[in-house]
Amino acid sequence: MEEIWKSVLAEIELEVSKAIFLTFLKSTQLLSLDGSTATISAPTFITAEYIEKRYHPLIKKVLDKKTGKNMSLVFVSQNKTPSQKKESSGPLFTKDVLTEAKNNSKPQRVRLDYTFETLAVSESNQLGYTAANTVASSPGTKYNPLLLYGTVGVGKTHLMHAVANKLLEEKHNATIIYLTTEEFTNEVVEAIRDKTTAQMRKKFRNADILLLDDIQFLSGKERVQEELFHTFNTLVDKQKQIILSSDRPPSEIKKIEARLASRFEGGLSVDIEPPDFELRTAILLIKSKKYGMELSLEEAKTIAEKVLDARALEGFLLKLTAQDPGKEISINFISKLLGKKDKSSIIRPDDVINSVCSFFNIKPTQLKGSKRNSFLVKPRHICMYLLKEDVGLTHVEIGNLLGGRDHTTVMYGVEKVAHQASTGEKIKEEIMFIKRKISDDFQQ
């Protein structure tokens, strides 16, 4: 195992920056290889979680190549933290929620830290919280399917995993499958290619609960929609629970078969709104404990006033931990760090979209729509560029926001505007004007 891990790290070192490798990856160890499950340790809980979030695909790719197997990765920490249970410094994902062992497929993980207890609740997500709790108490009998929709970072995925975790507490041998629509699409394509559709159907149709993220990406994928339709019917007939998430209500997802759209709307659809100030403060107080910090109410409020996006809140906590290890946290220190933060922490995607539409005198529905009129192409590309450069969204997230566009389309738009801005004064001035408008609106 030591030789395998040395070989894995040597290859990973070529893929990441020197600072990242030395800070996070060099100190990791391969503790065990149990069949197709690899247990990897990191010095601390935070490091283990960070590596799992950011480098799981890279580590898996290299380890799969070295072992010749389709590996499941389990991350553990060597030291206990206040957020961990007494009995272990163990895996972030237990074997009970790694369905590969049961289904002989790619691992479908459920986040053990995404529970109802770790979710802050206020008016903006109260209905979603209540509906998810109801589903967890009696899966398959009420609100089936449960569809949660809202913009990026409002807690849809947290609620989905919370249902799964509560079900696991009551039924340890439950078959739970969580995956994104992209992963489901890949499984369908691979099954068709390998002539293993029967095994794939058996896997999904024997689940106790199926959690499918980002169903807006089903748009236009007819064969995938057909497989999901039949899987949907089978699970509902068996009174097995289905939970879906989307960035928009079912009625606004285009190129979806009418029969499938009807199934989506047959349960309960819940709109989860962006967190208000009180909810952001509560999120900070809850999540800070996970990182071994004890924020005061005033410190949490200071951050919540400036950081508006739920995901950015956790990113700021991670930054706070990394920049001030072992030192006492103060409002002055937090204020200084907030002063250095990226615009992604304060500018919301909707701010960019609305400012671009206002400048070009078009509607957000036109910007996000499927039409490719010449007067829409430029605003769309500039919006993509600003969402990438100023907000820090990924190409997939941007495509998601702008009508479910493919990430390669977004990549092309961003690169095109970046090139034009480096060579042409007009588009550069337009971008600067839009940025000033976003800044002015935020200050108000």
- Domains identified in the chain, total number: 4
- Are 18 and 148 in a shared domain? no
Taking the model in full, what pTM does it have?
0.53
CATH number of the domain bearing residue 258: 3.40.50.300
Of residues 107 and 350, more confidence is placed in 350
Domain that holds residue 80: 2-90
Q: Which of 271, 299, 334 lies at the terminal end of a domain, its last residue?
A: 271
Res. 6 pLDDT band, cuts 50 70 90? very high
Domain-terminating residue out of 317, 345, 373: 345
* Pairwise pLDDT comparison (431 vs 310), residue with the higher score: 431
Q: Is residue 384 part of a domain?
A: yes
**3-state class (DSSP) for residue 43:** coil
pLDDT tens across 259-315, in order? Answer: 998 988 888 999 888 788 888 888 888 888 776 777 888 888 888 888 877 777 877
144 and 175 inside one domain: yes
Q: Are residues 421 and 378 in the same domain?
A: yes
Same domain, 83 and 219: no
The pLDDT confidence band at residue 96, using thresholds 50, 70 and 90, is very low
- The answer on 133 and 254 residing in a single domain is yes
Residue 160 lies in a domain: yes
Q: Is 227 found in the same domain as 133?
A: yes
**330 occurs within a structural domain:** yes
| Among 28-42, 106-120, 265-279, 379-393, the least confident range | 106-120
User: Is 110:178 a contact under the CB 8 Å cutoff?
Assistant: yes
- Residue 117 falls inside a structural domain: no
35, 159: one domain: no
Decide which of 345, 380, 400 is a domain's last residue.
345
Please indicate, yes or no, whether residues 246 and 380 belong to a single structural domain of this protein: no
Q: Are residues 252 and 299 both part of a single domain?
A: no
What pLDDT is stored for residue 89 in this prediction?
32
183 and 156 in a single domain? The answer is: yes
User: Given this model, what pLDDT does residue 35 score?
Assistant: 81
Residue 284 contacts residue 313 (beta carbons within 8 Å): yes
pLDDT digits (tens, 9 = 90+) for 326-371: 556 778 878 877 875 444 445 678 888 988 998 888 988 899 888 8
pLDDT at 403 over 70: yes
Local confidence band at 438 (pLDDT 50, 70, 90 cut-offs): confident
CATH code (residue 11): 3.30.300.180
Do the domain assignments include residue 103?
Answer: no
pLDDT tens column, 376-401: 999 999 999 999 887 878 888 898 88
- Asked if the model's pLDDT at residue 243 lies above 90, the reply is yes
pLDDT of residue 45: 67
Q: Classify residue 100: in a domain, yes or no.
A: no
The answer to the question of residue 29 being in a domain is yes
In whole numbers, what is the pLDDT of the chain averaged over residues? 81
pLDDT of 435 strictly over 90: no
What is the pLDDT, as a whole number, of residue 104? 36
> Are 166 and 258 contained in the same domain?
yes
